[in-house]
Structure 1
């Protein structure tokens, strides 16, 4: 059975559900995302799996998940953090909610957390994530200038949001 994605209106109110295959370009959906740092201020980014429909093999936020029927933003970020990178029993701080009007129209509820863990110690789900790595702010700034295609298209906006 196909996953039922929550479809919302421009006020983020639920108006229905669609299978992921049945979605169209005008559908507005919900996403939760995690901006993960360590106590040194480094940022954990995840490389999207090669099979991903949106921005395959690009680096982006540590965790991103599309909400399905029966979920809210809070429950989704807990589920996705465990599924994608093996994070459990972490206190997530609710951040801003942003309306993204780009190639894919969605609301993103941001969360932040601080975790001191080596990148090799994260348990990644290969269907979702090709790898994770800690980046310094300086590394990200330089790559955004010199290699912007290294990242998902909106990473520069997210970086500024949490800088």
Structure 2
């Protein structure tokens, strides 16, 4: 029996679910889907970013939020970020603060519900899932802004919109 593809909620401009589609049938320019993302900052004001694994179909080998995931059918933004934080960085039993929800229109078309975590964990304290993340790094805000301006190709397609929420 073939493995059933996970379906994703497709939403309207107000983030109301209007349909469900298998990921491989999405029209990324037209269909609006949902992601959750975790913005992690330490007491020095540095931001933890994750470099996506080379095997990822969307934005491989690019720097993006420390944790991010596409919300599946039947899953809330909160359930998704809890699952993704454990899968990608080994974060369990942590309390996030709910942040803003943004609408991103770039190469992809989605709502992003942000969650915020303040922590002073060292890089070695995170358990990286190599199929998801190839590397993590604490970035100073100025360094991040400079690199994003000078080398935007190093970052996920929505990163300019993402940092406006927290950095500028």
- TM-score range relative to shorter protein: over 0.9
CA-to-partner distance for each residue in 1:40-95, whole Å, 9 max, x for gaps? 11100000111112111010100111000110111111111111111111111111
Number of corresponding residues: 163
Of 4, 15, 18, the residue aligned with 2:18 is: 15
Structure 2 residue ranges without an equivalent (≥5): none
Q: 152-161 or 8-17, which moves further after superposition?
A: 152-161
CA-to-partner distance for each residue in 1:100-147, whole Å, 9 max, x for gaps? 122111111111110111112211111111111111112212212322
Structure 1 residue ranges without an equivalent (≥5): none
Of 29, 39, 63, the residue aligned with 2:33 is: 29
Answer yes or no: is 1:154 the counterpart of 2:158.
yes
Aligned twin of 1:77? 81
User: Structure 1 residues 23 and 154 mapped into 2: Cα distance closer, same or farther (>3 Å)?
Assistant: closer
Aligned twin of 1:92? 96
CA RMSD of aligned residues (A): 1.2
Measure the CA separation in 1 of the matches of 2:32 and 2:145.
30
Measure the CA separation in 1 of the matches of 2:108 and 2:63.
17
Normalising by structure 1, report the TM-score: 0.94
Paired residues for 1:28-67 under 5 Å:
28-67=32-71
Of 1, 6, 17, the residue aligned with 1:3 is: 6
CA-to-partner distance for each residue in 1:17-36, whole Å, 9 max, x for gaps? 11111212321111001110
Shift >3 Å, 4+ stretches: none
Measure the CA separation in 1 of the matches of 2:117 and 2:127.
17
